[in-house]
Chains A and B, each alone.
Chain A
Amino acid sequence: DAGVTQSPTHLIKTRGQQVTLRCSPISGHKSVSWYQQVLGQGPQFIFQYYEKEERGRGNFPDRFSARQFPNYSSELNVNALLLGDSALYLCASSPGTHSNQPQHFGDGTRLSIL
């Protein structure tokens, strides 16, 4: 079975641009979460979506937005990019939203802002 897939794997943007990152969850998983991982730190929660509805939002500015589609795939959008947005963006899926369900992570999108 395919795991969580993310695209693209790498992306280079300049300040002020906008970016869209994509994620396909494991088949049967209805929950998708997005995390930002800055070098040398643990993943920081950005959003969680379940059944196309936002279920949780981390402490990130409104420049960050996301959505989930009927097939449970998801997109993360970041507007007005800043140098500090350079990070590895991880998508994780789980069957539902219960906290005893571990997250299944993709390999991430490495975003570099010049």
Chain B
Amino acid sequence: AQSVTQLDSQVPVFEEAPVELRCNYSSSVSVYLFWYVQYPNQGLQLLLKYLSGSTLVESINGFEAEFNKSQTSFHLRKPSVHISDTAEYFCAVSDSRTGGSYIPTFGRGTSLIVHP
């Protein structure tokens, strides 16, 4: 069984400040990792994913996340946030084994609130 812990339910920051949204996972097998973003009254959109290779992955809008296997973490960072980044962010994990469960497990979400 897998689980995802997002340690902060809400993260308030000022515009142009850096931010880190924390995600830790628990799994007895190797995993794929995802970050999704949800804007109000919308579904989830993929932000970035780690499948293999470089442990640092980047999105097109300035977010990055680093897979740390020893700490079982996949924290999301952005060096300078914008008002438009205000949204709910979800970390998700899925089993990477061939024949393993392909159903992702989501965290409870972190609400990023960017103040002017």
Contacts and interface: CB of A to CB of B under 8 A. Distances in A.
B106 A102 contact: no
Given A4-B43, A107-B41, A107-B43, A102 B103 contact: no
Interface string B92-116: 1011100011111111110000000
A108 B43 contact: yes
A99 B44 contact: no
Given A45-B103, A100-B51, A90 B44 contact: yes
A51 B109 CA distance: 31
Contact of B42 (A45, A97, A100, A107): A107
Q: How large is the interface on A (under 10, 10 to 19, 20 to 34, 35 or more residues)?
A: 20 to 34
A99 B95 contact: yes
B26 interface: no
A72 interface: no
Contacts, number: 65
A49 interface: no
A48 interface: yes
Interface in B24-43: 32, 34, 36, 41-43
Interface residues of B, number: 28
B78 interface: no
Given A33-B103, A44-B106, A99-B104, 15 more contacts: A40-B9, A42-B90, A42-B106, A42-B108, A43-B90, A56-B103, A58-B103, A97-B102, A99-B103, A100-B32, A102-B34, A104-B46, A105-B44, A105-B45, A108-B42
Interface of A: 4, 33, 40-45, 48, 55-56, 58, 90, 92, 97-100, 102-108
